């Protein structure tokens, strides 16, 4: 099946969309402003791991393609693949054993981290161990690939990808024996902080150190938290560095209000 597919269309249809920040970023200076994402009901908090985005794109019959956030790297049976950041090497054993979908395309999104993947790798490992954790999954209809690429991109950014709900994602991970990014808590939307300074405190309380260290010598500083509704209709990220940078710029009396 892979040999007959438009790979450029496949790449476009299965890229992971950008996650907005919990507090809106000011386009003028990159700082956070006092405008928070609106959630309703239960909100699930998961650790945001600082690595690189990897994709396992599975087809009926067992074929698969592996990709980074921006490009496709390897297809099942290839003798030579793109070695970028060790993504294909990290994901191939998992891709070889997972159950293929009965129809359409199933895309698993995983964070590949540690090793020499990013400058933050030392926070997860002291000996260049590489790990991966699934953070999302989506179903993509095959007929989407027949559309012009610009239409596919608009479909994706408009929420066309069929992402799994929190419950379905957990069940899929259990069925395939895949480790998810850590589930930290479920909170009521009304208990989420709305202020920038309050959110910094919330992050520190909820995630004082990473939950995915790969060895005892890891630095342990986490990147942040992802917040998502149970049906994944609302999702946002809150990174420690964004809050530190924003609050550092503010006058002391404003910061403590």
* pLDDT tens column, 167-195: 999 999 999 999 999 999 999 999 999 99
Burial state string for 112-139 with b = 16 or more CB within 10 A and e = fewer than 16: bbbbebbebbbbbbbeebbbbbbbbbbe
Q: Which residue has the higher pLDDT, 225 or 30?
A: 225
d(CA 211, CA 124): 9
Tokens matching residue 123: 């926070």
pLDDT tier at 83 (50, 70, 90 boundaries)? confident
| Strand-pair partners of 229 | 43
Nearest residue to 237 (alpha-carbon basis) of 223, 221, 225: 225
CATH number for the domain that contains residue 234 = 3.30.470.30
DSSP secondary structure letters along the chain: -GGGS-HHHHHHHHSPPPPPBSEEEPTTTS-EEEEEPP--SEEEEEEE--SEEEEEEE-TTS-EEEEESSSEEEETT-SS---GGGHHHHHHHHHHHSPPPSSSEEEEEEEEEETTSSGGGGGT-SS--EEEEEEEEEEE-GGGGGS-HHHHHHHHHTT-SEEPPHHHHHHHHHHHT-PBSPEEEEEEGGGS--SHHHHHHHHHHH-SS-S--SSTT------EEEEEETTSSSEEEEEHHHHHHHHHHS-HHHHT-
Compute the distance between CA of residue 256 and CA of residue 131 in angstroms, rounded to an integer: 39
The answer to whether 51 and 113 have CB atoms below 8 angstroms apart is yes
Give the pair of three-digit tokens for residue 81. Answer: 């693949």
Amino acid 256: pLDDT: 52
Domain count, the chain: 1
What does pTM read for this prediction?
Answer: 0.93
Q: What is the pLDDT of residues 142-167, one digit of tens each?
A: 999 999 999 999 999 889 999 999 99
- pLDDT, average across residues 226-252: 94
pLDDT the model gives residue 79:
63
Q: What's the whole-number mean pLDDT along residues 21-41? A: 95
Query: In which domain, by residue range, is 84 found?
Result: 2-255
Which of the four pLDDT bands, split at 50, 70 and 90, describes residue 138?
A: very high
- Own/partner pairs, 67-72, CB within 8 angstroms, 24+ separation: 67/11, 67/14, 69/15, 69/16, 70/15, 71/11, 72/7, 72/10, 72/11
Strand partners, 239: 224
Check pLDDT > 70 for residue 1.
no
CB atoms within 10 A of CB 24: 15
Place of tokens 């009521």: 188
Query: Comparing 125 with 76, which gets the higher pLDDT?
Result: 125
Residue 80 in this model has a pLDDT that exceeds 70: no
112 pLDDT exceeds 70? yes
């Amino acid at each position: 099946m892979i040999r007959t597919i438009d790979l450029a269309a496949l790449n476009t249809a299965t890229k992971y969309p950008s996650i907005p920040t919990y507090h809106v970023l000011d386009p003028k200076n990159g700082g956070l402003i006092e405008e928070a994402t609106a959630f309703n009901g239960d909100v699930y908090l998961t650790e945001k791991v600082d690595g690189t985005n990897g994709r396992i794109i599975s087809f009926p019959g067992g074929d698969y393609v592996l990709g980074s956030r921006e490009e496709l790297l390897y297809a099942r049976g290839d003798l030579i693949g793109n070695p970028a950041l060790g993504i294909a090497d990290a994901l191939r054993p998992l891709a070889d054993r997972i159950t293929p979908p009965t129809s359409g395309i199933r895309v698993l999104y995983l964070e590949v981290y540690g090793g020499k993947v990013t400058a933050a790798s030392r926070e997860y490992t002291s000996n260049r161990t590489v790990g991966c954790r699934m953070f999302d999954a989506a179903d993509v209809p095959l007929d989407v690939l027949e559309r012009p690429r610009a239409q596919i991109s608009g479909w994706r950014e408009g929420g066309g990808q069929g992402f799994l709900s929190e419950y379905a994602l957990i069940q899929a991970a259990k069925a395939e024996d895949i480790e998810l990014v850590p589930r930290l808590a479920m909170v009521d939307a009304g208990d989420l902080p709305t202020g920038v300074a309050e959110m910094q405190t919330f992050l520190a309380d909820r995630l004082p150190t990473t939950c995915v260290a790969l060895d005892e010598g890891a630095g342990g500083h986490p990147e942040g938290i992802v917040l998502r509704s149970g049906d994944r209709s609302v999702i946002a990220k809150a990174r420690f560095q964004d809050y530190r940078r924003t609050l550092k710029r503010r006058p002391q009396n404003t910061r403590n209000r």
